[in-house]
A = this chain, B = another copy of it.
């Protein structure tokens, strides 16, 4: 009895790591360091250290269970090595049949959200109703209030599930918009040429 107590006392981080394992196995969404610290009633710093231990234990090729940092927190997932076995048993209902229109809508909501259906339609040039509905149904976007003013349209933002499905640590992990569509400058120049021809 005495020796067990001493063992725990000398390496209490191990017990914290076990508690974190337990929390992560029952959680249905990634847990942040703050959530883990609160549930475990321990310091966030110690939780970080324990997570470091777990990351080694539950690493790719070492274990079938892998600890990943995603959607603003930590979660377990299957190792990539086992993906074929998983594909034989499970489905991917969220990604199945995700249309091009839905992906464009998702991009608009992820970058400019919260934003409304009319705003999405303005940017994409076509109505976004069915794309928005399918994204809500898949749980990738959700309602986030209405636009201000009477009769304001419902606004949407991406969900933590979106970050998880796309394997993003957070929305900040999306590529910067400035890096996309680099040839925008060319379009601008061509339009300005046309404009000055029209003005003269």
B-binding residues in A (CB < 8 A): 15, 17-23, 25-27, 31, 35, 38-41, 63-65, 76-79, 81-82, 85-86, 88-90, 99-101, 124-127, 129-131, 133, 136-137, 139, 142-143, 145-146, 151, 153-154, 194, 198
Asked if B18 contacts A82 (CB within 8 A), the reply is: yes
Set B17, B19, B39, B64: member contacting A18, Cβ < 8 A: B64
Residue of B nearest to A101 (CB): B143
So how many copies of this chain end up in the complex? Answer: 2
Q: Smallest distance from the beta carbon of A192 to chain B beta carbons, Å?
A: 15
Q: In the complex, which of the residues B65, B99, B133, B194 contacts A25, with contact meaning CB atoms closer than 8 Å?
A: B65
Judging by beta carbons under 8 Å apart, are A77 and B27 in contact?
Answer: no
Q: A22-B79, A100-B146 are in contact. List 11 more A-B contacts (CB 8 A).
A: A18-B82, A22-B78, A22-B81, A23-B78, A23-B89, A25-B64, A25-B65, A35-B89, A127-B136, A127-B137, A131-B143
